[in-house]
Amino acid sequence: NAGVTQTPKFQVLKTGQSMTLQCAQDMNHEYMSWYRQDPGMGLRLIHYSVGAGITDQGEVPNGYNVSRSTTEDFPLRLLSAAPSQTSVYFCASSYSRGTEYNSPLHFGNGTRLTVT
Amino acid sequence: TQLLEQSPQFLSIQEGENLTVYCNSSSVFSSLQWYRQEPGEGPVLLVTVVTGGEVKKLKRLTFQFGDARKDSSLHITAAQPGDTGLYLCAVEYGNKLVFGAGTILRVKS
């Protein structure tokens, strides 16, 4: 009963380094998304995907890339890490989105990233 | 300007007290979700309200959706230390789920 699995749990990067945060779900959800959480700012949407092969930008996409080659996986790539990207990153999935569905989002336990 | 404003930002109370937290917007929504997040974990859905004026109860938690579907409240009766966490409201916006900044609740024993 894994749900949404994120790896790694913690990561420290130097400015300019690149890395990929992994996210996998085993619930056959079509919709997947990445949020970042910063104190006092709630959860802000970075990128999302409504199905394999389809991705779109959220509220704060700059500096991040995503791809969705399978239904299960939705990796988030940091191209050139900056201190402003220090945050906790959450991956979340659901069956679908849209007001007619009201699907709950299922979240992973997050990746805490520090960029020095 | 945030789509959803949550208040208060932080609340610290003694075990056994009652409390209410609020989620407000100037926009109308067809539904609203409440999540709770505990330290080191991702948010977990508590409830979805879909009808103006709707009241839903989950044990000691009572959720209300405003008549105009612009706001919602969460009332906790006789708070317990296990209620400690971050309470987030969220609404559908296009095909995205948008969150408020949350209310941090600390219940002291």
Out of A42, A97, A102, whose CB is closest to B96?
A97
| A21, A30, A37: best to mutate for the B interface, most B CBs within 10 A | A37
- CA atoms of A90 and A95, how far apart (whole Å): 17
Q: State how beta strands B5-7 and A64-66 pair.
A: unpaired
DSSP state of B51: S
Q: Which chain A positions have a beta carbon within 8 Å of B99's beta carbon?
A: 35, 42-44
Q: What is the pLDDT of residue A37?
A: 97
- CB A45 to CB B96 under 8 A? yes
In whole numbers, what is the pLDDT of chain A averaged over residues?
A: 94
Q: What is the mean pLDDT of residues A71-94?
A: 97
User: CA torsion, points A41, A42, A44, A48, in degrees to nearest 10?
Assistant: 180
Beta-bridge mates of residue A37:
A43, A88
Minimal C-alpha gap between B105 and chain A (Å) = 13
Q: Is the pLDDT of residue B1 over 70?
A: no
Q: Which chain A positions have a beta carbon within 8 Å of B42's beta carbon?
A: 4, 90, 92, 107-110
Q: Which chain B positions have a beta carbon within 8 Å of A58's beta carbon?
A: 96
pLDDT band at residue A46 under the 50/70/90 scheme: very high
The answer, for B51 touching chain A at a CB cutoff of 8 Å, is: no
- CA atoms of A44 and B42, how far apart (whole Å): 14
Length of chain B: 109
Residue pair B99/B88 in contact (Cβ under 8 Å)? The answer is: yes
Q: Is the pLDDT of residue B105 over 90?
A: yes
Out of B42, B50, B102, whose CB is closest to A102?
B50
Q: Is the pLDDT of residue A10 over 90?
A: yes
Out of B30, B97, B101, whose CB is closest to A41?
B101
Q: Which has the closest alpha carbon to A25: A96, A106, A112?
A: A106
- Residue B52 makes CB contacts below 8 A (sequence gap 6+) with B65, B66, B67, B68, B69
3-class secondary structure for A6-71?
EECCEEEECCCCCEEEEEEECCCCCEEEEEEEECCCEEEEEEEEEECCEEEECCCCCCEEECCCCC
In whole numbers, what is the pLDDT of chain B averaged over residues?
A: 94
- CA atoms of A99 and B50, how far apart (whole Å): 10
Residue in A closest to B29 by C-alpha: A99
Minimal C-alpha gap between B9 and chain A (Å) = 8
- CB A107 to CB B99 under 8 A? no
Residue pair A68/A52 in contact (Cβ under 8 Å)? The answer is: yes
CA separation, residue A34 to residues A76, A112, B59, B60, B67 (Å): 8, 13, 31, 32, 32
User: Could you report the per-residue pLDDT of B33-75, keeping only the tens digit for each?
Assistant: 999 999 999 999 999 999 899 999 999 999 999 999 999 999 9
- Residue B20 makes CB contacts below 8 A (sequence gap 6+) with B73, B74, B75, B76
User: Could you report the per-residue pLDDT of A60-80, keeping only the tens digit for each?
Assistant: 999 999 999 999 999 999 999
Beta-bridge mates of residue A66:
A76
